[in-house]
Amino acid sequence: MARRYRRAVMLYLDHAATTPPRPEARAALSAWLDAANASATHVSGQRARAAVEQAREQVATALCCSPHDVVFTSGGTEADNLAVKGCMWAARERSRAVPHLVTTAVEHAAVLAPARWLADRGDVDLTVVPPGADGRVDVEEVLAAVRPQTALVSVMTANNELGAVNDVATLAAELAERDVPLHTDAVQAIATLDVDVAASGVAALALSAHKIGGPQGVGVAVLRRGLAVEPLSHGGGQDRGVRSGTFAVGLDAACGAAVTAAVADRAHLRRRLTEATDRLAARLTTIEGVRRNGPDVAAWRLASHLHLGLEGADPAALTLALDRVGIAASSGSACGAGAATASPVVTAVGLPTTPLRLSLGWTTTDDDVARAGDLLEEVLSEVVAPGRRSAASWLVGPDVPAAASEGA
């Protein structure tokens, strides 16, 4: 289905939603597709286990952490849930006081939904820190939210929609002085940003293979030594007892291969995509009513993301026009259930215009960028209507208070 969809699309500019598998990942997946059970003691089982452990080493090397810290999951969603729920449940076990969790309004639903679920049940006190207008989170504001009962802070490395990059290293260092662990969702960051777990001092991190050229359905929770985490599910006790279930040998091997390939290509890809997104932005923002959203400073922007605000554009007309010219892009977050509702990130940042996220990836060529410029000039000139009140009223969601504190 997905393959057919891809073939039907002439120009794929939705790499933040998912990016095609790299050859190394395809090879690893097919090599281990009929692997034995990696927990079995016979020779075939041991060979399969060796493949899982090799993948674990590959991930650890790429992220600069210990293989012991690497727990394979079914993707970024499970990795985030494991860190957030697992840490907060462990904190609840340790103390009679209700533990406090700090996160931000621009997190992916994989963090915000479990955080709110825990708060709704009275398992945690929750503080949700709002972002600045560029989608970045202020380190001082996060630190100001920390209390004696704070058991975890979860701030994403880079935002999936705006591509805004947070200063996670400074935050982790400040939190370490307060003895508070930091979890970071690095799902969107790893393709183009250097991520060094040991140097940054984060306690937990989430990765998803399909955002970096691996298959869908596999990811990693980095859970560093000393961080107490309760499992989400109970069973055979695989992966330190934190993540039970038969090892997904082929998926894990493909994840390891993808991370290695992505990290080897990263500096080159970052240069290439920075140049490409800047070129596209320069061209498209000459159209009246089109502006680039997100941070102004390049160092705080993902090279892969170009988020545009379209004044007066009707989202339905935009979608139809993109379909007509054969461009696959996103007018919000494509990671949810596909509903055309207000994007929480756009709502949290308070953007008044209709959003269009163009995200480039490792398969994007110079020719794609030139063609995207031509086609988007046509589409945007047609749908953008400066002066007309933006049809982005569909985006208006619940107000995000200046410092939202939720839960008991």
Ligand X SMILES: Cc1ncc(COP(=O)(O)O)c(C=O)c1O
Residues that bind ligand X (CB under 6 A): 75-77, 80, 108, 110, 156, 160, 185, 187-188, 208, 210, 219, 335
* Distance in angstroms between the alpha carbons of the first and the last residue of the chain: 45
CB of 218 to ligand X, least distance (A): 8
What is the spatial distance between Cα 311 and Cα 177, in angstroms, rounded to a whole number? 45
What is the spatial distance between Cα 141 and Cα 130, in angstroms, rounded to a whole number? 9
CB of 130 to ligand X, least distance (A): 18
Q: What is the DSSP letter of 368?
A: H
What is the spatial distance between Cα 113 and Cα 116, in angstroms, rounded to a whole number? 5
What is the spatial distance between Cα 207 and Cα 59, in angstroms, rounded to a whole number? 10
> Exposed/middle/buried for 146, CB within 10 Å: 0-12, 13-18, 19+?
middle
Evaluated on CA atoms 48, 234, 254, 184, the torsion sign reads negative
Q: What is the DSSP letter of 330?
A: B
Which is nearer to ligand X, 321 or 360 (by Cβ)?
360
Cβ(153)–Cβ(91) under 8 Å? Answer: no
- Describe the strand order of the beta sheet including 305-310 as a list of residue ranges: 290-292, 305-310, 354-359
Assess whether 255 carries a catalytic annotation: no
Helices (H) and strands (E) in the chain, counts: 12, 13
Which is nearer to ligand X, 71 or 380 (by Cβ)?
71
Cβ(182)–Cβ(139) under 8 Å? Answer: no
Torsion angle of C-alpha atoms 53, 54, 55, 60, degrees rounded to 10: 90
Which is nearer to ligand X, 220 or 229 (by Cβ)?
220
Which is nearer to ligand X, 18 or 390 (by Cβ)?
18
CB of 161 to ligand X, least distance (A): 8
Residue listed under structure tokens 């949290």 = 348
CB of 106 to ligand X, least distance (A): 10
Residues 6+ apart with CB under 8 A from 23: none
- Point out the residue whose Cβ comes nearest to ligand X: 76
Cβ(108)–Cβ(156) under 8 Å? Answer: yes
Which is nearer to ligand X, 206 or 310 (by Cβ)?
206
Which is nearer to ligand X, 349 or 375 (by Cβ)?
349
CB of 202 to ligand X, least distance (A): 15
Q: What is the DSSP letter of 294?
A: S
CB of 87 to ligand X, least distance (A): 17
Which is nearer to ligand X, 104 or 200 (by Cβ)?
104
CB of 373 to ligand X, least distance (A): 25
Please tell me which residue in 65, 87, 255, 335 is annotated as part of the active site.
335
What is the spatial distance between Cα 134 and Cα 363, in angstroms, rounded to a whole number? 28
Catalytic residue IDs: 335
